[in-house]
């Protein structure tokens, strides 16, 4: 089974502003109202958007293609599954590192928060894209929860998707940092 | 769609408006001089663009009629097609709707400034808007939008005209502001908001001039002060030339990100203006999504305003009483002869003495005509004075005064006879403003109880008419103490008003009428009234004791008279002061005095010229506004002309500039302001007008031999003509510096076109000074070499 590659538009990676700022430390009820801060946050937002090189690697196959330890408990009665890895690429990590080295921690902090929300926004978009293609499916699931060990990331990245662009540490953490793996089960097998 | 339906819809979700038409059509190679004509000549293209906007997810499609009013069409000899162009626009827009979209008829400015700053009267502007609105409504639009207004008075004319055509359809009213939050004619966002809160508009908004980032703080200010739903349409930045193409720098994603911020600020309708296209709208719709409007905190402060000056009513409103021609025969005679110099002087004195508002009573109205009132209000507008209390009784005169008034006035006054009160309530509902209501119906009630009864009747009528009581100042009646009236009845009535949480106002000086040492009596009575809870007074601000008692009385209550950002132009330099205040005679007298010791050239360049430079600095720093600038220039010009007549020909001229608006462009407001500023600075100005072909500029330049050529281009569709004209001038070896300006020009384009760029009249003046200085010193050098 060969992986496929999906190149999203940047608009698909736009994180919800409130979520991005929430992750950066602003509670929903106390989102910054000062115009100058909003402008600064937007500069970081747009800088990040201009920096990322988002891509989604995905593979869909019948259930018997996958090892049983990859299936969450909730994935009962599915006929097929999609495994995908979405990443914003190395450039955002490089930028965050660079800013930290220059002691521009404020921007680095915001960029990091942005990146985390952006990859989630991308996942949401790709999730919807898959559902249009495959029909009714389970909720989206990521290793590290339930019975699926986070170290399954290595299997997903290296064995299933066969990606060299993404490094997986022994702990299961992936590089670039803003990378996630997800699973969705399908109740109908497409012919 | 009815207004209440639209209101309900706005409460449920944020709506999306479409993007630009002009710049989109250019991008698509449809460079018509007037894009509205495409409704007839290329309707499929218009339909295609609007279909793309619908597919991008808009809720409101605007008709392609921004410049399709009689004034703008007339510049292209297309006024006979006004009906066809507007009707076709509605038809096309309607044809692309899939059922969920609304079609709003788009009305743009006339292209002319209204009196007193331009040639168009209020009535002329009103008729222009009424005609276009009628056609749009007749052809079935769901609502109307007035866009890109830079003048508050013109906007008011448009709103009133639309409301004459339809009371039922929703109306969005939008102005355009600079990044400093001021419009072309010096109106702030706060003044705009406070007037729109009163008028019959359903949504209040901003569009054009600013990119999404710069629009943010301006919208934030509007959101604070405007109680109506909000709309916003930023530009996609300034145009940049890339090869032969004009590009806008704001990406769809950037617009989307800022749109999200506009939502947080409380915007109800979001769209795009110049440079935005379907891709911007698509990104915005996708990112913002289906959202309910956010709640926002709106200031409860109450304001009165002129065109440029905003005054809070709290904690106490001081109204200067001295422009009262009913008691001053001389003042009445001056008004009858259209001599307003004394009135201007009184207005300025009272402003200096601490008045927040100036009461204007033109006197025995039977001896005046409506034109006197019109001229009076316009003159005070030109002087950029404080907000006015319009003390006029004749209904027709009142109507004229309020039509001419740009801002939120105080209407003095109404009694509680049904018809009298209703007429005046309708006037403030129509024109905006606050109203003084006297505690009198048919006769003067002697006791507080009787006055309170009258006021209670007034309150009922006011509430039935749907006017907020906060917009009313109730006058408990101050009657002459010398005639035996008991001032304590007034105090009791003020108590009643305070307990009801209502505003009170008195005509203070009435108390001491006919008595000696009036100031002491006025001051003492004011103190009593303050303790009773008085909120405002019409008084003599030159009475120092009275003003001190007022300050002291407020201080005891822990209050002080608020001083907003200094907007009155005051300078320590006498010449600057005289110029800003339009004091031609006094300036002439001062110049004559100076000529006894100095040469005319020295007076012209060192005294007057320097004063104009200082005024330029005050304008650049936002301490004075465009009306001050124009008035200063007009005041200076005859003095310069006089001085020039005393100076030998060679030494006179500062320079000679040839001005033109490029071919295809009929905007000339900015160019005319440049001409005024240059003339007042001693330049000879030759103005070729608007829509001037490049060949004509070259021909005239050869004939008239200017030192500099100034070109203006307002529209993105015409900015390329600047390059065309500049190239032709160079190819003819005229060797003349070219200065370019206008809304579509910027530094980068100027560098590409190899011309100089001036962002405003003052920068143009500075650049011209430098250019001519260099030219002359090169001339002197070559002369010395020879």
B298 to chain A, closest Cα gap in Å: 14
Cα–Cα distance, A154 to B2 (Å, whole number):
61
**pLDDT for res B785:** 47
pLDDT by residue (tens digit) across B707-726?
999 999 876 667 888 999 99
Question: A14, B287: Cβ pair inside 8 Å?
Answer: yes
Nearest residue on chain A to B296, judged by CA atoms?
A33
A76 to chain B, closest Cα gap in Å: 33
Confidence of residue B357 (pLDDT cuts 50, 70, 90): very high
Q: Which residues pair with B269 in a beta bridge?
A: B15, B231
pLDDT > 70? residue B651: no
Taking residues A121-128, report their average pLDDT.
96
Question: A31, B264: Cβ pair inside 8 Å?
Answer: yes
Cα–Cα distance, A35 to A38 (Å, whole number):
5
Residue B214 near chain A (CB below 8 Å): no
Q: Which residues pair with A184 in a beta bridge?
A: A82
**pLDDT for res A24:** 76
- Which of A17, A20, A43, A50 best tests the B interface by mutation, with the highest count of B CBs <10 A? A17
Interior angle at CA B96, CA B95 and CA B102, nearest 5: 95
A45 neighbourhood in chain B, CB within 8 Å:
257
Matching residue, tokens 């979700």: B13
B287 neighbourhood in chain A, CB within 8 Å:
11, 14
**pLDDT for res B618:** 82
For B467-484, b/e burial (b = at least 16 CB within 10 A) is: beeebbbbbbbbbebeee
Confidence of residue A32 (pLDDT cuts 50, 70, 90): low
Task: Decide if B60 contacts B17 (C-beta within 8 A).
Answer: yes
Of B217, B254, B282, the CB nearest to A46: B254
**pLDDT for res B109:** 96
Distances (CA, A) of B433 to B196, B302, B316, B427, B438: 10, 10, 17, 9, 17
Helix (H) or strand (E) holding B5: helix B3-12
Cis geometry, peptide bond prior to residue B115 (ω within 30 degrees of 0): no
Interior angle at CA A103, CA A102 and CA A108, nearest 5: 95
pLDDT > 80? residue B312: yes
**pLDDT for res B565:** 43
A42 neighbourhood in chain B, CB within 8 Å:
213, 254, 257-258, 261
**pLDDT for res B569:** 46
pLDDT > 70? residue B26: yes
A128 neighbourhood in chain B, CB within 8 Å:
none
Backbone angles phi, psi at A71, to 5 degrees: -90, 125
Cα–Cα distance, B222 to B189 (Å, whole number):
6
A178 to chain B, closest Cα gap in Å: 20
**pLDDT for res B384:** 79
For B193-208, b/e burial (b = at least 16 CB within 10 A) is: bbbbbbbbbbbbbbbb
Residues of A with CB under 8 A from a CB of B: 10-11, 14, 16-17, 31, 33, 35, 38-39, 42, 45-46, 49
Taking residues B230-237, report their average pLDDT.
96
Q: Which residues pair with A179 in a beta bridge?
A: A87
Helix (H) or strand (E) holding B652: helix B649-652
Q: How many CB atoms lie within 10 A of CB B685?
A: 19
Please indicate whether residue B621 or residue B662 has the higher confidence score (pLDDT): B662
**pLDDT for res B745:** 86
Taking residues B399-420, report their average pLDDT.
96
Q: Which residues pair with B388 in a beta bridge?
A: B358
Cα–Cα distance, B121 to B551 (Å, whole number):
42
Of A16, A42, A49, the CB nearest to B261: A42
Q: Which two tokens stand for residue B612?
A: 């104009």
Residues, chain A: 191
Cα–Cα distance, B761 to B767 (Å, whole number):
10
- High-pLDDT (> 90) share of chain B, %: 70
Matching residue, tokens 């115009």: A35
**pLDDT for res B717:** 66
What is the Cα gyration radius of chain A? 18
Interior angle at CA B161, CA B160 and CA B163, nearest 5: 65
Q: At what angle do helices B370-382 and B329-336 cross, to 10 degrees?
A: 90
Matching residue, tokens 């008419």: B465
DSSP tag of B293 = P
Cα–Cα distance, B317 to B320 (Å, whole number):
10
pLDDT > 80? residue B409: yes
Confidence of residue A29 (pLDDT cuts 50, 70, 90): low
Query: Among the listed ranges B219-228, B384-393, B642-651, B771-780, which one has the minimum average pLDDT value?
Result: B642-651
DSSP tag of B572 = S
Q: Give B308's contacts (C-beta < 8 A, 6+ positions apart).
A: B185, B186, B187, B188, B191, B384, B567, B625, B627
Q: Which two tokens stand for residue B336?
A: 């009858």
Question: A46, B257: Cβ pair inside 8 Å?
Answer: yes
Backbone angles phi, psi at B386, to 5 degrees: -65, 165
pLDDT by residue (tens digit) across B174-215?
999 999 999 988 999 999 999 999 999 999 999 999 999 999
Confidence of residue B484 (pLDDT cuts 50, 70, 90): confident
Q: Give B177's contacts (C-beta < 8 A, 6+ positions apart).
A: B183, B189, B192, B206, B209, B210, B218
**pLDDT for res B122:** 97
Query: Among the listed ranges B76-80, B240-244, B729-733, which one has the minimum average pLDDT value?
Result: B240-244
**pLDDT for res B195:** 97
pLDDT > 80? residue B630: no
Taking residues B464-478, report their average pLDDT.
96
Give the full edge-to-edge strand order of the sheet including B708-712.
B683-687, B655-661, B708-712, B738-741, B756-757
What is the Cα gyration radius of chain B? 28
Task: Decide if B17 contacts B231 (C-beta within 8 A).
Answer: yes
Q: Give B202's contacts (C-beta < 8 A, 6+ positions apart).
A: B3, B6, B7, B143, B170, B171, B172, B228, B229
pLDDT by residue (tens digit) across B133-163?
999 999 999 999 999 999 999 999 999 999 9
Q: Give B606's contacts (C-beta < 8 A, 6+ positions apart).
A: B598
pLDDT > 70? residue B669: no
Cα–Cα distance, B474 to B464 (Å, whole number):
17
**pLDDT for res B652:** 57
pLDDT > 50? residue B47: yes
**pLDDT for res B786:** 45
Measured torsion, CA atoms of residues B247, B252, B254, B260, in degrees rounded to the nearest 10: 140
Matching residue, tokens 């001419």: B404
A11 neighbourhood in chain B, CB within 8 Å:
252-253, 256, 282-283, 286-287
Confidence of residue B457 (pLDDT cuts 50, 70, 90): very high
A68 to chain B, closest Cα gap in Å: 38
Question: Beta B239-242 vs B303-305: how paired, if at all?
Answer: unpaired
pLDDT > 50? residue B568: no
Cα–Cα distance, B784 to B76 (Å, whole number):
52
Q: At what angle do helices B418-431 and B395-404 cross, to 10 degrees?
A: 10
Cα–Cα distance, B616 to B252 (Å, whole number):
38
B751 to chain A, closest Cα gap in Å: 27
3-state per-residue secondary structure call for B145-159: EEEEECCHHHHHHHH
**pLDDT for res B111:** 92
pLDDT > 80? residue A1: no
pLDDT > 70? residue B563: no
Of A11, A31, A38, the CB nearest to B256: A11
DSSP tag of B113 = P
Nearest residue on chain B to A15, judged by CA atoms?
B287
Taking residues B603-631, report their average pLDDT.
78
Q: How far apart are the first and last CA of chain B?
A: 80
Taking residues B559-571, report their average pLDDT.
56
Task: Decide if B80 contacts B44 (C-beta within 8 A).
Answer: no
pLDDT > 90? residue B676: no
Question: B257, A45: Cβ pair inside 8 Å?
Answer: yes
B238 to chain A, closest Cα gap in Å: 18
Question: A42, B287: Cβ pair inside 8 Å?
Answer: no
Task: Decide if B280 contacts A39 (C-beta within 8 A).
Answer: no
A11 to chain B, closest Cα gap in Å: 6
Question: A42, B253: Cβ pair inside 8 Å?
Answer: no
Cα–Cα distance, B744 to B749 (Å, whole number):
9
Q: How many CB atoms lie within 10 A of CB B651?
A: 12
Q: Which two tokens stand for residue A77?
A: 């009665």
pLDDT > 80? residue B642: yes
**pLDDT for res A31:** 62
pLDDT > 90? residue B779: no
pTM: 0.83
Q: Give B345's contacts (C-beta < 8 A, 6+ positions apart).
A: none
Q: What share of chain B is helix, strand, coil (3-state, %, to 5)?
A: 50, 15, 35
**pLDDT for res B627:** 65
Query: Among the listed ranges B425-434, B455-464, B565-574, which one has the minimum average pLDDT value?
Result: B565-574
Chain centre distance of CA A159:
19
Q: How many CB atoms lie within 10 A of CB B350?
A: 26
Taking residues B766-772, report their average pLDDT.
89
Confidence of residue B16 (pLDDT cuts 50, 70, 90): very high
Matching residue, tokens 């030159």: B542
B304 to chain A, closest Cα gap in Å: 27
**pLDDT for res B657:** 93
> What ipTM, to 2 d.p.?
0.77
Residue B287 near chain A (CB below 8 Å): yes
**pLDDT for res B673:** 75
Chain centre distance of CA B661:
23
């Amino acid at each position: 089974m060969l992986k496929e590659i999906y190149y999203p538009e940047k608009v698909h990676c736009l994180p919800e502003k409130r979520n991005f700022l929430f992750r950066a430390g602003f509670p929903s009820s106390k989102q910054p109202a000062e115009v100058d801060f909003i402008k600064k946050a937007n500069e970081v937002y747009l800088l990040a958007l201009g920096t990322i090189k988002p891509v989604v690697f995905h593979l869909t196959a019948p259930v018997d293609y996958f090892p049983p330890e990859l299936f969450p408990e909730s994935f009962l009665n599915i006929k097929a599954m999609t495994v995908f890895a979405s990443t914003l690429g190395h450039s955002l990590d490089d930028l965050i590192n660079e800013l930290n080295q220059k002691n521009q921690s404020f921007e680095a902090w915001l960029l990091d928060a942005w990146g985390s929300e952006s990859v989630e926004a991308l996942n949401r978009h790709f999730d919807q894209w898959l559902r249009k293609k495959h029909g009714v499916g389970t909720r989206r699931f990521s290793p590290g929860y339930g019975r699926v060990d986070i170290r399954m990331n290595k299997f997903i990245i290296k064995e299933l998707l066969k990606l060299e662009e993404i490094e997986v540490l022994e702990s299961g953490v992936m590089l670039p940092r803003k990378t996630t793996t997800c699973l969705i089960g399908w109740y109908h097998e497409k012919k | 769609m009815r207004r209440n339906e639209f209101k309900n819809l706005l409460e449920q979700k944020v709506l999306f408006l479409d993007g630009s038409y002009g710049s989109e059509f250019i991008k698509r190679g449809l460079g018509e001089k007037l894009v509205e004509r495409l409704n007839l000549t290329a309707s499929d293209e218009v339909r295609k663009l609007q279909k793309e906007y619908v597919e991008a997810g808009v809720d409101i499609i605007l008709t392609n009629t921004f410049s399709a009013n009689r004034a703008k069409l007339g510049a292209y000899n297309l006024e006979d097609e006004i009906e066809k162009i507007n009707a076709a626009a509605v038809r096309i827009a309607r044809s692309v709707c899939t059922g969920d979209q609304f079609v709003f008829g788009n009305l743009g400015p006339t292209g002319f400034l209204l009196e007193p700053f331009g040639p168009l009267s209020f009535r002329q502007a009103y008729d222009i808007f009424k005609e276009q609105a009628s056609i749009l409504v007749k052809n079935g639009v769901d609502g109307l939008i007035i866009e890109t207004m830079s003048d508050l008075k013109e906007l008011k004319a448009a709103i009133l005209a639309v409301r004459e055509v339809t009371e039922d359809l929703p109306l969005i009213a939008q102005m355009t502001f600079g990044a400093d939050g001021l419009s072309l004619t010096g109106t702030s966002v706060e003044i705009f908001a406070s007037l729109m809160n009163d008028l019959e508009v359903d949504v209040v908004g901003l569009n054009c001039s600013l990119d999404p980032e710069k629009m943010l703080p301006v919208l934030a200010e509007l959101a604070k002060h405007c109680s109506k739903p909000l709309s916003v349409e930023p530009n996609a930045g300034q145009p940049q030339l890339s090869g032969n193409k004009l590009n806008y720098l704001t990406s769809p994603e950037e617009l989307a990100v800022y749109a999200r911020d506009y939502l947080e600020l409380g915007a109800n309708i979001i769209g795009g203006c110049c440079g935005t296209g379907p891709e911007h709208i698509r990104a915005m719709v996708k990112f913002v999504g289906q959202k309910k409007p956010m709640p926002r905190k709106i200031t409860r402060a109450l304001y009165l305003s002129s065109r440029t000056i905003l005054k809070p009513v709290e904690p106490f409103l001081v109204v200067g009483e001295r422009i009262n021609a009913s008691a001053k025969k001389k003042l009445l005679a001056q008004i009858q002869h259209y001599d307003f110099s004394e009135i201007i002087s009184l207005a300025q004195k009272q402003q200096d003495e601490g008045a927040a508002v100036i009461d204007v009573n033109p006197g025995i109205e039977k001896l005046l005509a409506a034109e006197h009132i019109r001229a009076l209000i316009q003159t005070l507008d030109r002087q950029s004075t404080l907000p006015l209390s319009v003390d006029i009784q004749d209904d027709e005169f009142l109507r004229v005064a309020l039509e001419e008034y740009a801002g939120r006035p105080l209407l003095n006054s109404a009694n509680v006879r049904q018809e009298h009160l209703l007429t005046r309530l309708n006037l403030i509902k129509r024109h905006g403003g606050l109203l003084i209501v006297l505690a009198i119906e048919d006769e003067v009630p002697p006791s507080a109880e009787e006055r309170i009864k009258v006021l209670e009747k007034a309150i009922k009528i006011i509430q039935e008419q749907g006017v907020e009581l906060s917009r009313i100042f109730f006058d408990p009646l101050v009657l002459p103490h010398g005639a035996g009236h008991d001032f304590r009845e007034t105090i009791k009535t003020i108590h009643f008003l305070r307990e009801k949480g209502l505003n009170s106002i008195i005509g203070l000086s009435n108390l001491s009428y006919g008595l000696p040492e009036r100031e002491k009596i006025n001051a003492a009575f004011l103190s009593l009234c303050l303790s009773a809870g008085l909120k405002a007074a019409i008084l003599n601000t030159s009475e120092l004791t009275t003003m001190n008692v007022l300050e002291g009385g407020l201080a005891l209550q822990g209050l002080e008279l608020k001083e907003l950002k200094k907007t009155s132009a005051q300078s320590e330099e006498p010449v600057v002061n005289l110029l800003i205040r339009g004091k031609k005679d006094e300036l002439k007298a001062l110049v004559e005095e100076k000529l006894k010791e100095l040469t005319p050239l020295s007076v012209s360049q060192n005294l007057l010229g320097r004063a104009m430079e200082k005024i330029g600095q005050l304008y650049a720093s936002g301490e004075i506004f465009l009306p001050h600038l124009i008035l200063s220039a007009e005041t200076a010009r005859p003095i310069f002309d006089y001085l020039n007549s005393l100076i030998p020909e060679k030494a006179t001229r500062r320079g000679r500039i040839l001005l033109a608006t490029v071919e295809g462009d009929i905007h000339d407001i900015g160019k005319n302001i440049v001409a005024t500023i240059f003339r007042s600075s001693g330049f000879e100005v030759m103005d070729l007008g608007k829509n001037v072909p490049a060949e004509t500029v070259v021909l005239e330049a050869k004939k008239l031999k200017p030192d500099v050529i100034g070109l203006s281009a307002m529209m993105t569709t015409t900015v390329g003509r600047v390059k065309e004209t500049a190239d032709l001038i160079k190819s003819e070896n005229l060797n003349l510096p070219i200065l370019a300006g206008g809304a579509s020009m910027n530094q980068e384009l100027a560098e590409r076109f190899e011309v100089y760029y001036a962002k405003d009249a003052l920068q143009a003046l500075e650049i011209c000074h430098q250019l001519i200085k260099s030219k002359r010193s090169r001339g002197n050098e070559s002369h010395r070499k020879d």
